Amino acid sequence: MKTILVVDDEKSMRDFLSIFLKQVSYRVRCVSSGKEALQLLERELIVKALNRTNGVLNKAASLLNLSFRFFRYRLEKHKIKNFRQELRS
């Protein structure tokens, strides 16, 4: 199932689009701002990189072209501790 990210500052518009897209078989994520959207996407990329590297932080950082130190900062910023559980949700 494909996922669509809906970004709109009006809750009624997000709700409408969410209902419509779910009816046509999409998984929908909704946020109210561009900043939230970027944070959500960054978090998902980090979790996926960790999953691809079986939790090896150095490899995940390298996969994302980030320094290890910056990668650790991002893990803390997004409060990512148990990435395997997060990937399933």
pLDDT tens readout for residues 47-57: 999 999 998 99
pLDDT above 90 covers what percent of the chain? 85
> Reduced to 3 states, what is the DSSP secondary structure of residue 36?
helix
SS3 47: helix
Q: What is the pLDDT of residues 16-61, one digit of tens each?
A: 999 999 999 999 999 999 999 999 999 999 999 999 999 899 999 9
What was the pLDDT predicted at 33?
97
Rounded-to-integer distance, Cα 61 and Cα 69, Å = 9
Kindly list the domain boundaries of the chain, sorted by start residue.
Answer: 1-32, 35-89
pTM for the predicted model, two decimal places = 0.78
